[in-house]
Amino acid sequence: MKCENCGRNEANVKYTQIINGEKKQMFLCEECSEKLGINDIHFNMPINFTSFLTDFFNDVNDISFMPTLGGNNTLQCSKCGLTWDNFLHTGKFGCSNCYDDFESRIDPILRSLQGATTHIGRLGEVRTGNNIKQNLDDKIEKQENKAISKIEKLKEELKQAVKEERYEDAAKIRDEIKKQEE
C-alpha cells in the first residue's frame, strides 16, 4: 500500500485519530509520518530471537528443569559437525542429519510445545484413512443414483414417444438408454 500523503513510498505507519467518536485513519510512509510529527514513537525494537532460543533451551538443559535432557552439551552432528551449543546460539540446524542426531533433545520440546512431533496437516484426521474412502464411496453412490434416475427418466420418455408414435425419437432414446446402462 502506498503512502496516502505522498503516494510514492510504501506505507508502513498506520495513524488512527479518534475525535468525538469519529475515527480517521491514514497510512503513511516513515518520512511523511516524521514530517507530520506522528512518528515520535520509535518502533525499532530489536528482538533477538537467538538469545530467546538460547534462554529457552538453557532452561531445558537445566537438570532440575528436565533431567532427561540436561547434562552433556557436547552433542554434535555426525555429518556437518554442528554442536548443540552452536544450534542454541544460531537457532538453525546445519543439515538434515541434525534433526536425527539432536532428536533426543528436540522431540520432548516439540511434544511439549505442539503436542506431537509429526505434522498431520491443517485438517488432521478429517482427510486421512477411512474418511477419504467414505467420501469417495459417497461420491460414487451419488453418481450411480444420478445415472439410475437419468435412465428411469429416459424410459419414461421412450414410453411417451412410442405412445405418440414418434418412432425415430424412440430409437434415439433407446440407444441412449443402452449407452447409460453400460
Tens-digit pLDDT profile for residues 162-180: 898 888 989 999 998 888 8
Q: Residue ranges per domain, the chain?
A: 1-45, 49-114, 129-181
The structure's pTM equals 0.31
From residue 78, alpha-carbon distances to 2, 93, 108, 160 in Å are: 50, 12, 21, 81
- C-alpha grid cell, residue 55: 534462554
Radius of gyration of the chain (CA): 34
- For position 80, what pLDDT does the model report? 93
- C-alpha grid cell, residue 115: 503436542
The residue with cell 500500500 is: 1
pLDDT exceeds 70 at position 70 = no
- C-alpha grid cell, residue 114: 505442539
pLDDT exceeds 60 at position 60 = no
Q: What angle do CA 34, 36, 40 make, to 5 degrees?
A: 45
Q: What angle do CA 53, 54, 55 make, to 5 degrees?
A: 90
- For position 79, what pLDDT does the model report? 92
Cα gap 169→161, rounded to integer Å: 7
**Which is more confident, 85 or 120?**
85
Average pLDDT of the residues in 11-33: 84
Cβ–Cβ under 8 Å, residues 151 and 181: yes
1-45 CATH: 3.30.60
- For position 113, what pLDDT does the model report? 75
Using one digit for the tens of pLDDT, what is the confidence trace for 94-152? 898 988 888 888 888 777 777 777 776 666 555 555 566 667 677 777 777 777 788 88
Average pLDDT of the residues in 151-165: 88
- For position 64, what pLDDT does the model report? 42
